[in-house]
Amino acid sequence: MQKLDEDQLENLAADLDAIRNEQMADLGQRDADHIRGIIRLHRTLEFGGRAMMPLGIIPPFLLAGMTSLGLAKILENMEIGHNVMHGQYDWMNDPELNSQTYEWDTICTADSWKRTHNYEHHTYTNIIGKDRDYGYAVLRLEDETPWQPKHLLQMINFINLSVFFQWGVGVHELEFENLRSGDVTLREKAEFLRDFARKGGRQVFKDYVFFPVLTLPVAPVVIAGNVGANLIRNLWASSVIFCGHFTEDAESFTEEECENESRGHWYLRQLTGSSNFTGPGWVYTLSGHLSHQIEHHVFPDIPAYRYPEISPQVQAVCEKYGLHYNSASLPRQYATVVKRVAAFSLPDRMRERLFPEFNEDGGQVVNQDNTRSLVSRLRNRVSNRLSAAA
């Protein structure tokens, strides 16, 4: 982790608190207009997609309906559901936009998401052994997880997690790794399993029984269109989430590093453990403005569409304290995600030889200039090990 002394951490917290307080004091009509406009757009896209789907025997209509419904699902999950459940619009006192009662259009229940994401992930961001979102218990992304032969297949796991992302998120609270070790029993997860089966059953019934039955003569076409829409949503949502946390420059942390951390230290971890990606405005909207994951991790309860406005202020704070503001284009960030997944699928010695930019203390970037000499890379590695020993 990048180091700041206690005075710097205290000042960092004060600077970021000042940004947050300014934004929260400014909440008002434009924020309400934004979220209600997104809701109208979502409903229009969903209605249009569902209406075009029965005409899918004509291929252009199937593609149009699938795309429209897929975009509707993305907007509902990313810009509406995720942000509402973070309490970004609780101040409106609108029962439809209340974080405690909102239920979103995906397999994962809202209560499960708030436990595993809002609490665990945002509290313990990228802390190995505490933040189960970091790799979703199927991906090895740092050295703290010992390499095993099964990790050779993690590129397959990465693809499967992307394709079936809503299901992966839905069963995340089951804690498969702890079930295997015996630390958790199925009996302890009985209530979660009941809720998951109930919610998952409703989602499957809606997309693959109810709407197809309404259009019975062309039901297979509607089923295919719904499969496609869910795939569009899963691939996009997983890409956004991965680019916010698994990039080459995103830091991970040990539990020891984060013991008794101050508010400033927590802020530091959010800044250095998150990644942004750049693009046009529609990319930001479809990502739920998680294109600005750094700002989201620092200010999870500020309406997310404000993050691009806040970004220059956060960048200025990072520059003030000499912190790396991890931002690049979406394709570049995704490429580094794939690179990281591929690198840590390999045994350590092979990874060190083929991916020398990753060191041995959590996948941090040691050297981003791949043209440097081998001697220089070895010197850096030895220096890092001596510093760790000291």
Identify the band that residue 374 occupies on the pLDDT scale cut at 50, 70 and 90: very low
Please give the helix or strand (H or E) that residue 277 lies within, else none: strand 276-278
The confidence score (pLDDT) of residue 211 equals: 97
Lowest mean pLDDT among 118-132, 265-279, 286-300, 353-367: 353-367
Q: What is the pLDDT of residues 47-74, one digit of tens each?
A: 999 999 999 999 999 999 999 999 999 9
pTM: 0.89
Pair of tokens at residue 83: 């942000």
Question: What whole-number distance in Å separates Cα of residue 161 and Cα of residue 293?
Answer: 20
The confidence score (pLDDT) of residue 371 equals: 32
pLDDT at 3 over 90: no
Please report the sign of the dihedral spanned by the C-alpha atoms of residue 133, residue 136, residue 139, residue 144.
positive
The confidence score (pLDDT) of residue 377 equals: 42
Question: What whole-number distance in Å separates Cα of residue 201 and Cα of residue 181?
Answer: 29
| CA-based nearest residue to 103, from 209, 195, 235, 208 | 195
Q: Which residues contact 77 (CB under 8 A, 6 or more apart)?
A: 104, 105, 106, 233, 237, 288
**Backbone φ and ψ of 90, nearest 5°:** -60, -30
- Residue range 1-29: average pLDDT? 95
The confidence score (pLDDT) of residue 357 equals: 86
Question: What whole-number distance in Å separates Cα of residue 194 and Cα of residue 390?
Answer: 51
Looking at the DSSP assignment, which residues form a beta bridge with residue 127? Answer: 253
The confidence score (pLDDT) of residue 379 equals: 41
**Backbone φ and ψ of 294, nearest 5°:** -60, -50
Q: What is the pLDDT of residues 243-256, one digit of tens each?
A: 999 999 999 999 99
* DSSP H stretches of helix in the chain: 6-25, 29-52, 59-75, 83-85, 110-113, 122-123, 154-163, 165-170, 176-181, 190-205, 211-214, 219-245, 263-272, 281-286, 293-298, 307-320, 330-343, 348-354, 374-389
Centre a 10 Å sphere on the Cβ of residue 34 and count the other Cβ atoms it contains: 17
Q: Which residue has the higher pLDDT, 224 or 358?
A: 224
pLDDT at 310 over 90: yes
Packing angle between helix 29-52 and helix 59-75, nearest 10 degrees?
150
* CB contact burial 152-180 (16+ within 10 A = b; e otherwise): eebeebbeebbebbbbbbbbbbbbeeeee
Name the one residue in this structure whose structure tokens are 């419904």.
69
| CA-based nearest residue to 221, from 69, 52, 46 | 52
Q: Which amino acid is located at 319 in the chain?
A: E
pLDDT at 304 over 90: yes
Maximum Cα–Cα distance across the chain: 72
How far is the CA of 2 from the CAs of 58, 251, 348, in angstroms?
56, 9, 24
Q: What is the pLDDT of residues 194-215, one digit of tens each?
A: 999 999 999 999 999 999 999 9
Q: Which residues contact 271 (CB under 8 A, 6 or more apart)?
A: 294, 297, 298, 314, 318, 323, 325
Pair of tokens at residue 72: 């509707």
